[in-house]
Amino acid sequence: MRDEISAGGVVLFGNAILLLRKFNGDWVLPKGKIELGESHEDTALREVCEETGIKADILKYLGEIHYTYKENWDENKEVHKIVYWYLMQSKNMNTVPQKEEGFIDAKFIHIDRVVAMARYDDEKEIIKVAINEIKKLNEENK
């Protein structure tokens, strides 16, 4: 079993959250692997920008998810993955999905619809945590 660590963003603009559509139709959050010497925050910001074209600022840390998957080249070898998630804010909606990495679309989806659209249950849970935080921040700013 090998370990893999990634970081990603739940990126907010107005009342909408950024999702990426993979070539197979799945909608996912932007994320990617930590590079040597890089902080989790820097990875999350870099991957959001590389995969979606969005430059965002971190608002707060949301939590981590864990899952395992099987290596393509060997069904018996499992990868244990941890992904650290950050709530981020974007200043604009000008997305540029990274086609070379297999993403065919990047869209801001209204918070009322985004949980239903996301492919993975653990990403749905992180989006719910993010929506709670957004509501708290909105209350504080009233």
Q: Is 33 in the site for ligand ATP (CB under 6 A)?
A: yes
Backbone angles phi, psi at 23, to 5 degrees: -55, -25
Q: To the nearest whole angstrom, how small is the minimum distance from the Cβ of residue 26 to ligand ATP?
A: 8
Q: Is 31 in the site for ligand ATP (CB under 6 A)?
A: yes
Write the burial class of residue 46 (CB in 10 Å: 0-12 exposed, 13-18 middle, 19+ buried).
middle
CA pair distance 8, 83, nearest whole angstrom: 7
Q: Is 122 in the site for ligand ATP (CB under 6 A)?
A: yes
The one-letter code for the residue type at 124 is: K
| 57, 88 Cβ separation under 8 angstroms | yes
CA pair distance 115, 93, nearest whole angstrom: 19
Please identify, among the stretches 10-18, 30-38, 91-99, 128-136, the one whose residues bind ligand ATP according to the rule CB under 6 A: 30-38
Nearer to ligand ATP, 123 or 131 (CB): 123
Q: To the nearest whole angstrom, how small is the minimum distance from the Cβ of residue 50 to ligand ATP?
A: 10
Greatest Cα-to-Cα distance within the chain, rounded to the nearest angstrom: 54
Q: Is 125 in the site for ligand ATP (CB under 6 A)?
A: no
Please identify, among the stretches 29-37, 56-64, 85-93, 134-142, the one whose residues bind ligand ATP according to the rule CB under 6 A: 29-37
By the criterion CB under 6 A, which residues form the site for ligand ATP? 6, 31-33, 65, 67, 69, 81, 120, 122-123
